[in-house]
Structure 1
Amino acid sequence: MNKKRIKVVIAKPGLDGHDTGAKVVVHALKDAGMEVIYTGLHRTIDEIVNTAVEEDVDVIGLSIYSGAHLPLSAKLMFKLREEEISDKIVLVGGNIPPQDIPALKNYGIAGVFPIGASLDEIITFIEDKVEIDNEEK
């Protein structure tokens, strides 16, 4: 039986100009067999959501080092609900203080990966989460 390739969009929202971590994650996900779209720097939430819709992705990953993870994540989750595509698995990685993780989870963020999270941890999380979601559908 052919297994559907997991499709992921990795995005750098806002004015954050640091994308080394995002590029490392993109390459790791590709090496793990996923199809990955990297949006590049300085994307708006609307652009990210539009890409997710156009590409019909399973996962949306935000890479945020600017410290704006809470408002950007809240805005993304609101936009996903507004567009009626809140079934997407959303991840946030980057410079995320531990005390902000509960708030991100309350917004509906499925996985939070602060600086230092292993690539294997991210890959396994995505594979497990997409598999569970596919079984539920």
Structure 2
Amino acid sequence: MTDHYGSCLCGTVSFQVKGDFDSFYLCHCRHCQKDTGSSHAANLFSHSAKLVWQSGSEAVVSFTLPGTRHNKSFCKLCGSALPNTQVAGLLVVPAGCLDSQITMLPTAHIFSSGKAVWDERLEEVPKFEGLPTWTAIK
């Protein structure tokens, strides 16, 4: 069994996940694109791990899109995605909010029929170690 630690961007919320993840999905549905502002969400799932809020639990807000099972928890101060337990018996942890390393590879891409067009052939896009200069991105 492994423990994982995470936090929000502003540091108000911190948490521990006690246990292991069962799966790691990259979801390309339109709801996940909207709530991440990106081409997909990267979420870890567990039916057995336990979430322990270490600080800032009062800053955690949850939203469920009416008429759907799509939900998201986030810090009300900085907006960072945070773990949620909105579905009974299931812990969902956005991979990007973890401070500890995840060695698990994604299990699968899901809702790939909704994949953003610009998300194709990303391996061909130039890579920079940091922010490129304006002349480099022309």
Same fold (TM over 0.5): no
Which structure carries more strand by proportion? 2
| Structure with larger RCO (C-alpha < 8 A, sep 6+) | 2
Q: Provide the TM-score with structure 2 as the length reference.
A: 0.27
Q: Provide the TM-score with structure 1 as the length reference.
A: 0.27
Which structure carries more helix by proportion? 1
